[in-house]
Amino acid sequence: MILAYLLALTCICAVHSECPFGWVVGNTSCYLFHHEKLSWTVASHYCRSVGGHLATVESKQEKDEIHEFSKFHSAGDFWLDGIDDVHESDWRWASTYSIINPTFWHPGQPDNLKGNEDCLEVRIGDNGQWNDDDCAKHQFCLCEKSLN
């Protein structure tokens, strides 16, 4: 019985030690919600300063996982790594410059409504769906790094 308890405790500690303190353990990544509102550019620099990058979403499972985390860890809408600042409507992950696929846009988005909406935000009030917004807007951000 004691051996089983110690083995279980060791497994729990091993799982939690894969991400730095304060980061949330996901299926394939560690996530950190930053609770200071920043422009997209400053948010991107912040994530790199803590060893990660603004989060990317590679699957519906990851989108849903991030949305669930955001219910407990984010105080509002937040930036992801997506941009279309080079060519309008050509959305890419800034950290890899790969095309964003799949996408989870809110209906009617992206719309570049103000003519300068080049950064991707998650709207937690819209079931975690995406919106394009002005990169100078200050809001929360989600950083991501690979599991160790």
- Which two structure tokens, joined as six digits, stand for 133? 């917004």
Q: Find, among 31, 65, 68, the residue nearest to 51 by Cα.
A: 31
In 74-113, at which residue ranges do the beta strands (DSSP E only) sit? 78-83, 92-93
Burial of 106 (0-12, 13-18, 19+ CB in 10 A): middle
3-class secondary structure, 26: coil
In single-letter form, the type of residue at position 50 comes to V
Q: Hey, what domains does the chain have and what are their CATH numbers?
A: 2-146 (3.10.100.10)
Average pLDDT along the chain, 148 residues, taken 10 residues at a time:
37 60 95 98 99 98 95 94 95 97 97 96 94 98 93
Among left, alpha and beta (phi > 0; psi -120 to 50; other), residue 13 is alpha
* pLDDT score, position 136: 98
Q: Are strands 78-83 and 139-146 parallel, antiparallel or unpaired?
A: parallel
Amino acid 4: pLDDT: 39
Ramachandran region, residue 6 (left: φ > 0; alpha: ψ -120 to 50; beta: rest): alpha
Instruction: State the alpha helices, DSSP H only, in 17-80.
Output: 40-49, 60-73
**How high is the pLDDT of residue 13?**
42
Query: How much is the pLDDT for 14?
Result: 44
